[in-house]
Amino acid sequence: MMYDKIIIRYGDLAMKGRNRGMFEKRMLQQLQLRLKDFAALTYSRMFGRLYINLNGENYALIAERVKDIFGISTFSPVVSVQPELEEIRAAALALMKAMEQEPATFKVSAKRAWKKFPHTSQEMNHLVGAHVLRAMENLKVDVRGPEVELKVDIQEEAAYIFNEVVNGPGGFPFGTNGKAMLLLSGGIDSPVAGWMAMRKGLELEAVHFHSYPFTSEKAKEKVIELAKRLSYYSGAPLKLHLVPFTEVQTTLAQSGQDPLIITLMRRAMLRITERLAEINHAHGIVTGESLGQVASQTLVSMDVIGRATVLPLLKPLVMMDKQEIINEAERLGTFATSILPYEDCCTLFLPKSPSIKPNLRFVEKVEGYLNQQKNLEQLLDEAVKQTEVLLLTPEDPEPEASAGEDRWF
């Protein structure tokens, strides 16, 4: 199909108030950044929408990227022709015929913005509709609930025709709502939480805790893979903080409070993340927790764990069912990586019956003791200091790309 434009629509609600100008500017920047490989594209802003002028570039390749750009609620490929009846009819029919699956019902919605055009909007609905109907035998008109709405927008310079509305991810343009830290475990949930947070305009830095030799190097590679995938969606390099957690974890494991290990561990992670957030000017912590999923995700546990930090804890998945989260992970392309059998936390440290109702006072008492006897606070500082930082992009080579000697391949 000879599309020459793409209409980009963003959520109306997002666009209210003084921030509107900033959002639109960010949206345009994001498009330009993500589509920089298509050199011929030009952009224009009109009536609260953005237009991409294709100038001969391939629509399908561009749509593949546009559908993942945050802030876009829907978009449509458009054919523009001379504002003249026969040209409009011909283009409308060609569009309908080019649909991959022929619809059973449709309606025409014409809008005459250029009042010198000889036919009214109502007349145009009939003139274009009848023309399409004559040529497509199995097609019927349904004005109430059509499968396809064929839109004809008549302006002075051109008539714009389209019949396809593709969903974008919605949300806000990337980075318009500040920065947060994401706890990225390597499991199914946290990448989904990360995507949902980014969709809301958050810039993220990921934090991963590893306990080599209690966990394997592969667990780390898996997290790198997930972070790379997330950075595809943000369109920006993603910072991944790899925190050495072995010392802290083994100390907690020797506290003599088996059922509380997970609670203590999660609190220690939040404390470390809070310090990293401060250093990196982030203002919240995103986690993949979902209410009731495991012992540390009961409401009581969330309460006791959450009190370890003063930063807002953002939990996009908190009310989602596991299957819904899995569906999202599959759609985002993180599921297959997440289910690789490399644990981020050694089962050695998992108590037989973790507390689902930890007592805050008691937990604080244990931590006080660990501070005095084992310098827990110092261990946390140490972990922050020894954190390794990687800057990841989707284009980064796979770890095996540097395996062995180049001359062997």
What is the contact surface with another protein in residues (CB under 8 A)?
216-218, 398-401, 403-405, 407-409
CB of 166 to another protein, least distance (A): 25
CB of 400 to another protein, least distance (A): 4
Rounded distance, CA 116 to CA 31, Å?
A: 35
Residue 291: count other Cβ atoms within 10 Å of its Cβ.
13
Please say which residue, 303 or 398, places its beta carbon nearer to another protein. Answer: 398
CB of 234 to another protein, least distance (A): 24
CB of 115 to another protein, least distance (A): 51
Q: Kindly give the residue spans of alpha helices, DSSP state H, lying in 158-314.
A: 189-199, 217-234, 246-253, 261-279, 299-306
- Beta strand pairing call for 105-112 and 179-183: unpaired
Residue 171 falls in which region: left (phi positive, over 0), alpha (psi -120 to 50) or beta: left
Please say which residue, 217 or 388, places its beta carbon nearer to another protein. Answer: 217
CB of 321 to another protein, least distance (A): 27
Please say which residue, 166 or 403, places its beta carbon nearer to another protein. Answer: 403
Rounded distance, CA 65 to CA 69, Å?
A: 7
183 is in an annotated binding site: yes
Please say which residue, 47 or 408, places its beta carbon nearer to another protein. Answer: 408
Question: Could you tell me if 69 and 34 are in contact, meaning their C-beta atoms sit under 8 angstroms apart?
Answer: yes
Please say which residue, 216 or 251, places its beta carbon nearer to another protein. Answer: 216
311 is in an annotated binding site: no
Sheet holding 179-183, edge to edge: 313-314, 285-286, 179-183, 203-210, 238-244, 388-392
Please say which residue, 137 or 400, places its beta carbon nearer to another protein. Answer: 400
Helix H or strand E encompassing 146: none
208 is in an annotated binding site: yes
Burial of 182 (0-12, 13-18, 19+ CB in 10 A): buried
297 is in an annotated binding site: yes
291 is in an annotated binding site: no
CB of 258 to another protein, least distance (A): 27
Question: Could you tell me if 74 and 166 are in contact, meaning their C-beta atoms sit under 8 angstroms apart?
Answer: yes
Binding site residues for ATP, as ranges? Answer: 183-184, 208-209, 266, 288, 297
Binding site residues, as ranges? Answer: 183-184, 208-209, 266, 288, 297
